[in-house]
């Protein structure tokens, strides 16, 4: 993609301390893209906590900027256990912030999720009608609908499972295997993992381009959590016999874990890597 953020503009990362936000900032710095970000942390230059009144929000000048909205409550269980409280952040505050930024002249990029689709739907594309079966997915879809209706130039990026070497699940697996204790990853629960760095590069490519609408970021295929654990054990030279099987309480299918990225490939040149390639990329900077 050749389009660039104008020199007179910049990148605004809302939620710069989040998993994606922190990597976006590092990648933008590497590329020489001027950026600033908001944080919930006390003492931050631009403090913005979506759980607080908008009167307390500190937002940098956003005219001519590209605003990437990363801040959210992302826990599936948190959204299920407190749908009203999480919706106040993930829907109400996010929409209010998006409207404010757009009114000030910012271009909007919203980080959404594959959870806007049900867990049994195979290979949904950018044009497949969403039908979430989780509270988190319903909240993401509510923001998507608002942006598509009120801000037609907005970019909505749906992503599958983002992974990094710091993923607690992976670290726990390695800890127990190193201690010669068995682990029990699910053999009937599949993921289409995207390495964090690849995710950030793809988001920036989309943000810097001229096309609007819905984009998907996914691996080209899917693996089970059991397969992922076996691969990690092999990579670390650990005993794969300790990787035992278990069945998930809510299994899915291999195809349902994957997002079809046809439009994203056509518009941006994004090339989905395989699940194993993404797993290797995520783990290559792991600390022994």
pLDDT at 68 over 70: yes
- Beta-strand ranges (E) seen in 39-193 are 65-69, 107-113, 155-159, 162-163, 190-191
Q: Using pLDDT thresholds of 50, 70 and 90, give the confidence band for residue 212.
A: very high
Task: Give pLDDT tens digits for 258-286.
Answer: 999 999 999 998 999 999 999 999 998 65
Is 218:126 a contact under the CB 8 Å cutoff? no
What pLDDT shows up at residue 3? 36
- Domain ranges across the chain: 10-162+193-220+258-272
| 10-162+193-220+258-272 maps to CATH 3.40.50.720 | yes
Q: Using pLDDT thresholds of 50, 70 and 90, give the confidence band for residue 6.
A: very low
Q: Using pLDDT thresholds of 50, 70 and 90, give the confidence band for residue 79.
A: very high
3-state secondary structure of 156: strand
User: What integer is the mean pLDDT of 188-211?
Assistant: 96
Sign of CA dihedral 103, 109, 111, 112: positive
pLDDT at 5 over 50: no
What pLDDT shows up at residue 286? 52
Distance CA 108, CA 98 (A): 7
Dmax over Cα atoms in the chain, in whole Å? 58
Distance CA 107, CA 67 (A): 6
pLDDT at 64 over 80: no
Q: Percent of the chain, pLDDT > 70?
A: 95
């Amino acid at each position: 993609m050749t389009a660039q953020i104008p020199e007179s503009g910049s990148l605004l990362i809302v939620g710069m301390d989040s998993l994606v936000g922190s990597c976006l900032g590092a990648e933008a710095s590497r590329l020489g893209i001027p950026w600033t970000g908001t944080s919930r942390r006390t003492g931050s230059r631009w403090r913005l906590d979506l759980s607080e009144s908008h009167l307390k929000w500190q937002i940098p000048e956003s005219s001519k900027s590209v605003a990437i909205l990363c801040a959210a409550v992302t826990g599936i269980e948190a959204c299920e256990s407190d749908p009203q409280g999480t919706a106040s952040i993930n829907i109400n505050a996010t929409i209010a912030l998006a409207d404010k930024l757009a009114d000030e002249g910012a271009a909007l990029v919203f980080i959404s999720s594959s959870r806007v689709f049900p867990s049994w739907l195979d290979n949904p594309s950018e044009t497949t009608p969403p039908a979430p079966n989780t509270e988190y997915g319903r909240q993401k879809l509510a923001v998507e609908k608002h942006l598509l209706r009120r801000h037609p130039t907005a970019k909505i990026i749906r992503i599958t499972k983002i992974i990094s070497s710091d993923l607690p699940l992976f670290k726990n697996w390695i800890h127990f295997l190193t201690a010669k204790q068995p682990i029990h990853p699910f053999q009937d629960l599949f993921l289409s993992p995207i390495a964090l760095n690849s995710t950030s590069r793809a988001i920036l490519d989309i943000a810097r381009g001229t096309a609007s609408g819905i984009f998907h970021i996914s691996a080209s295929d899917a693996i089970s959590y059991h397969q992922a654990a076996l691969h990690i054990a092999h990579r670390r030279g650990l005993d794969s016999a300790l990787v035992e099987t278990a069945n998930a309480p809510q299994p899915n299918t291999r195809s349902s874990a994957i997002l079809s990225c046809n439009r994203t490939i056509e518009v941006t040149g994004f090339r989905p890597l395989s699940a194993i390639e993404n797993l290797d990329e995520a783990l290559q900077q792991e600390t022994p």
